[in-house]
Amino acid sequence: MTHTITLIPGDGIGPEVTHATVRVLEATGVKLQWELAYAGEGAQDMHGTPLPTYVLDSIRKNKVALKGPITTPVGSGFRSVNVALRKALDLYVCLRPCKSYPGVPSPHQDVDIVVVRENTEDLYMGIEYERETVEGEMLARFINESGADGVRDDSNFSIKVISESATRRIVKYAFDYARANNRKKVTAVHKANILKYTDGLFLSTAAKVARDYPDIEFESVIVDSLCMQLVRTPQRHDVLVLPNLYGDIVSELCAGLIGGLGLAPGANIGDDIAVFEPTHGSAPKYAGQNKVNPMAVMLSGVLMLRHLGEKEAADRVERAITQVVAEGKSVTYDMKPDRNDPTAVGTSQVTDALIQKMKE
């Protein structure tokens, strides 16, 4: 069977790392047909918008996309192209597995955490009001008249929104993921002691959903306490489910625990569409230098192969990455204990080594 996949090379280092990933995925022998779609800075130049409709149409048709990081061009009218894409396709899950690979210089070994971040609401809805606008002044007046403690005249506002329905579906996803992937525990992360209505609703809804999964342990933890635990004993955590903002921050923290962004894959998933992309951004200062680590996109490709039911091929790519990282020879600068190590190789040499390893 041939899988047709929308391929978005993205900006900055995106084209290099997605090209490297296409080479590795094709070397598995799985039949993949790529439909190229341009979003981001390149698309802005070609089509006058960083998110042309044809890109969304292609993803809707194929249901699966592999995406490089995208820069949001200044003055494009988008707060973020990435957020707009997730919103347009209702990709409500941001899945970010963070797993230690032996040989990577990192603060901890044996980390195996899956971050499940809610992707559609919270402070990322973009509901913001500036002071000295009609809306900003109306809101300040409403808050002051409602009896809340004084809001200062020079305040701006960003509104945090958490709904029961969006929480239910993300927590349900976390438990279904735990069940399907033989995980033991789901931890809901919140700040309900302070944010009683928003995070309070997240927590109570999560606890309700947990009752339908008696085979999976459920616990909850306050986000600041979680950060301390992650730095000291990350091994105690398994699947974490978080509202959007905490999820964004904690997934980078977890990437740091396993040795950095070069090994942190991700996926944005909706009911019937999935877009696979690394956690890292377009790192413009390294663009075109054959320098950065392609493994985060490759591991996103591994997630994609599993999603497509190509488990054996996915295992083969992940095994090759594990071996190449453990040998520590054909790896990029970020995988070396000394980042200036002159024996670090480039993106294309890592790719050659992985393809060679898959043949052995």
- Applying CB under 6 A, the residues found at the interface with ligand NAD are 17, 69-72, 82, 261-262, 277, 280-283, 285, 292-293, 296, 334
CB of 293 to ligand NAD, least distance (A): 4
CB of 80 to ligand NAD, least distance (A): 7
Instruction: CB nearer to ligand NAD: give 42 or 69.
Output: 69
Report whether 239 contacts 114 (CB < 8 A).
yes
Residue among 67, 191, 291, 357 flagged as catalytic: 191
Residue among 124, 173, 246, 333 flagged as catalytic: 124
**115: closest CA among 276, 17, 249, 217?**
249
CB of 348 to ligand NAD, least distance (A): 14
Instruction: CB nearer to ligand NAD: give 121 or 334.
Output: 334
DSSP H helical segments within the chain, as ranges? 14-26, 41-47, 53-62, 81-88, 134-145, 164-180, 198-210, 223-232, 244-257, 295-307, 311-327, 347-359
Residue among 212, 224, 272, 341 flagged as catalytic: 224
Active site residue 92: no
SS3 state at 159: coil
Instruction: CB nearer to ligand NAD: give 168 or 336.
Output: 336
Say which amino acid occupies 121.
E
CB of 58 to ligand NAD, least distance (A): 17
Report whether 101 contacts 129 (CB < 8 A).
no
Active site residue 191: yes
Instruction: CB nearer to ligand NAD: give 86 or 237.
Output: 86
For ligand NAD, the nearest residue by Cβ is 281
- Report how far apart, in Å, the C-alpha atoms of 244 and of each of 92, 171, 198, 229, 324 are: 10, 12, 12, 20, 34
How far is Cα 22 from Cα 213, in angstroms, rounded to an integer? 38
How far is Cα 47 from Cα 196, in angstroms, rounded to an integer? 45
Residue among 11, 199, 238, 248 flagged as catalytic: 248
Instruction: CB nearer to ligand NAD: give 113 or 255.
Output: 255
Beta-strand pair 267-269/274-276: antiparallel
Spatial neighbors of 157 by CB under 8 A, at least 6 apart, are 128, 129, 136, 139, 140
**Backbone phi, psi, residue 314, to 5°:** -60, -45
CB of 231 to ligand NAD, least distance (A): 20
Residues marked as catalytic = 124, 191, 224, 248
